[in-house]
Chains A and B, each alone.
Chain A
Amino acid sequence: EPEVTQTPSHQVTQMGQEVILRCVPISNHLYFYWYRQILGQKVEFLVSFYNNEISEKSEIFDDQFSVERPDGSNFTLKIRSTKLEDSAMYFCASSGQGFTEAFFGQGTRLTVV
């Protein structure tokens, strides 16, 4: 069964450093997303991506964040100058043509120290 794959599963970084979280969406999907879940809190939408551009972003997704689909298979989230409050679980998701449900990856746990 096709699945969304995220790497790494856990990343520890020092405050102020840049991190790149990687995702391989399901191959025939066209819509890609990043969500964030701070420990003990609800899952929050960050950004959606379609046709090689951002289609919607939340107020959380400020200039510190960027997304890219560099090679037609990977979908990345870059966080520049990380802060302690960026520590969270980051989920990638993808969905297909028309309305279909989003499939989530297993998440990347980001710890900023």
Chain B
Amino acid sequence: AQTVTQSQPEMSVQEAETVTLSCTYDTSESDYYLFWYKQPPSRQMILVIRQEAYKQQNATENRFSVNFQKAAKSFSLKISDSQLGDAAMYFCAYEFNQGAQKLVFGQGTRLTINP
């Protein structure tokens, strides 16, 4: 079974600084997708960024970028120029590209932004 592990329950960063959230996963598949979701205090799940496993290039969305290391099964999220609005729980998620689409989530990392 696929598993996703986020080893950092909590992280904090100074406003305007850069922070990296870690995620590892376990799968025997070669074709899959990886995601980072943000969950602010409102508890809605918001997609931040996604990565297709067949793409070698790391995904980037404005201040958010990933470091995807397929061989190491690692998928970290880098947030540059951190803003107060970035404070939230961040969940890493895996989805196998076959059959029903279902997301397997990690335990989450709570990110605090210090002004």
Contact = CB atoms under 8 A, between A and B. Distances in A.
Interface residues of A, number: 27
Interface in A9-46: 31, 33, 35, 37, 41-45
Nearest to A105: B44
Given A42-B106, A101-B35, A48 B42 contact: no
A95 B45 contact: no
Interface string B41-61: 011111100100000000000
B44 A106 contact: yes
Interface residues of B, number: 23
Contacts, number: 58
Interface of B: 33, 35, 37, 42-47, 50, 91, 93, 97, 99-108
Contacts of A105: 44
8 contacts: A45-B102, A45-B104, A48-B102, A58-B102, A89-B43, A101-B35, A104-B44, A104-B46
Interface string A89-107: 1010101000101111111
Contacts of A93: 45
B45 A43 contact: yes
A103 B47 CA distance: 8
